[in-house]
Structure 1
């Protein structure tokens, strides 16, 4: 099936999660799935879809198994194929698709989810020993590992991973357990997940683990993610870069860690920089730090406004911007900003290797 047809079919399924089936064969004829979704190696991210022969799919306004099946396949790379069952061949045109054939995998919230969420270690161990599925997902594709990670249940995370839980499973929003662990601020959970191969830079179009750590304000998690290679410029369509998030939430420590590691101080989200965020939250310390790291006080957002335009006249932040407009950075400061800009990401690592006096290394490192 051509890529455009695939796109149209998936779009139709997402708009109309309930589907009606009208078998066209005889009552004794072997039936085929109304819809089969096979994982594709095509880099476009779409999946080949085949309508079952002798089956006519029509729109309906009830149920949602097809939508959940599509979401499950997209967010769980371990699944290779999902079959949608249309029921018995004798069903009429008013019968809707009853279920998706995902035995012991696709389910509502399970006892394993509850035990993981509550940190009930013994209960979880008993469930695992009795054969409960540790990769069961809810309708929004949340696994028990997501639950344990979001609530910082480190021992439950260890049990689930030891039992074969998928470390990079995606929920319906695309978040992985590492994203949830960072959102909880649990440094121990983050360490356990990373030790089991969790991707620090999962291919997401939403908030990355580093974004989540900055939202939470966990400087420990931020530093750990930086140390293991987190992308400092990961871009979220809603939040921008991790630096945007740290400044919008006024997490000064997190912002400083990002800047010292080489984050682009003038990275823009719809032309809006971190300095615009600092001005909006009226945080003088944040404004001063961003400017010292080379923040452009004259940058204009998509509304044509400078950061200072978001301050009240005579307020501390307004006076701060007024000072830097009248007093540009010194030559030594400008040199430092230029050198660090050339160093880019991992600036601290690169600067530490320069064959220059230790005092200069400290100055370039903002120590």
Structure 2
């Protein structure tokens, strides 16, 4: 029987915000870009990294309650670990491409200092140890260090899904909170090697917002609240958002010398995902959850539907688009080094980057819609 290619799912709120996160990550990963000032992290204690990981938890919940719900525990683990391995392969590939780009740029532009960009120097000074570290994820390039976190979270996904089966949030959240508290109170993180240090995104801490996304996306999650409760949640979130915007605008951050122990509980630390960042991220999600549906029902939708479809297309193909965005952001950094940081250069970087990301998403869906090879052969004369 001929396989009928599945049509891509219709634009929706989750894919829209995931696409939004991908675009803002791309912009924020080109330091100094004029348009970087327009991203929401300039008015927030949290940024697109929290949004991306939260939505990854949401996506896992939809998968756990949907396609993999009937599977046995071993089959579920096999299915989810396959996704984790795909992310691992993607991380390895884009890291090697980034290393090649830095090496080529250093030769073409006679700029050997570019070999030191983004923690890449160990690859050229200690190639044996560094390549072992790249395979083990213990050596990570700057701006290429969020997928290693995602790899760890996806390898842990079967445990999360099975805990959810066993007891739901009542079992999963206390364990997640306990691990988070352990990391913050004792400052525990995964080590890096061969360069001494620790992971920029600490999986022991960041698993909490992943699990929150998983737990809050169920039938009683933000998106399922009735209008009255949603309004109440937005009112509660408002002072948190105002305080976060003020702190971001004045560049306020608690001085580690003057906060009590354990200090990570009171800092705005991104590596350990301090409580202030999680609280502000949750306030953002509470404030904006459901607005996609309101916009879709408004007269303005005829103007908003095209950009919403574009963002949703990016979100549907998040892994491929994220890999492209990572490479494009490094290309943008090199372009700004060569041509300078002018408004015209920055605008061209944004336009080309967004267009290529869209092309990657479109090509991913076009490829998925191709007939199966066996079906194509059966129609040949």
Could you say which structure has the higher strand fraction?
1
TM-score with structure 1 length normalisation? 0.20
Greater RCO (CA < 8 Å, at least 6 residues apart): 2
Structure index of larger Rg: 1
